[in-house]
Amino acid sequence: MAFTSARVRVTALALTFFCTLFGAAGSGAFAQDDLGPNLGQVAAPVAVTPPPPPAADIEAPAPRFIAEPVIQQMPEQPEADTLAELVAVVPEEADLTDELKCLAQAIYWEARGEDLDGQLAVAQVIINRTENHRFPANYCGVVTQRSQFSFVRGGRIPDVRTGTRAWHRAKAIARIAHDDLWDSEVGDALYFHARRVRPSWSHTKLARATIDSHIFYR
């Protein structure tokens, strides 16, 4: 009876060993021991950060607008109904630039005895010449150009009597013409001469206007 019980225990042990060996062969643990320490384990999920969207898909910030328009203050232009009124209200400058001084001197010497329209016409001719390729590009160059203005001596403009009313008027006309504050009826004229003479070149030019003692041509 004891022998039989011993055989039963041996047989039970053998069956237990066989079942254990068979179960291990069919499980992942066997593959882990054979192929490596981590192959049979389930990897923990890895958090993947999505790539940033293309630049074209990024929404640009909305533009911001100024609630009130920015208004640039422009210098006020003097207003007048006549050229004489404009001469009276044009601010007088203490120091003229060299260019404006040449223009004013030409007005003084060439037309100080003319009315204001005649003085403005002389100034307009000088300005027109600076914009024409056949003449110098600045007022002083035009006025002192050889054989153009009879009051010029040796390429030099004579001094004026600065304290006179005629000089103050010439400076105002120079500023008005330079800043284009009043239209002259001579338009685009480039030449003029006194009515008492008739130079030969006048027959080849187109007359634009006659003002006081001068005739103006293009």
**Is-contact 208 189, C-beta < 8 A?**
yes
Q: Which of 59 and 19 is assigned the larger pLDDT?
A: 59
Name the least confident of 50-64, 77-91, 186-200: 50-64
Query: What value does the mean pLDDT take over residues 134-140?
Result: 97
Tell me the pLDDT of the chain averaged across its residues.
Answer: 78
Predicted pLDDT of residue 17: 45
Predicted pLDDT of residue 79: 80
Predicted pLDDT of residue 42: 39
Q: Which of 5 and 52 is assigned the larger pLDDT?
A: 52
**pLDDT reading at 180 higher than 80:** yes
Q: How far is CA 190 from CA 51, 58, 105, 132, 168, in A?
A: 74, 63, 18, 9, 25
User: Residue ranges per domain, the chain?
Assistant: 1-40, 83-217
Q: How confident is the model at residue 218 (pLDDT cuts 50, 70, 90)?
A: very high
Cut 0.85: pTM above it: no
Q: Which residues pair with 118 in a beta bridge?
A: none
**Is-contact 148 142, C-beta < 8 A?**
yes
**pLDDT reading at 141 higher than 90:** yes
Closest of 183, 186, 178, 175 to residue 89, by C-alpha:
175
Predicted pLDDT of residue 138: 97
> How many other CB atoms are there within 10 angstroms of residue 154's CB atom?
5
Instruction: Report the Cα 85 to chain-centroid distance in Å.
Output: 36
Q: Which of 30 and 128 is assigned the larger pLDDT?
A: 128
d(CA 35, CA 41): 12
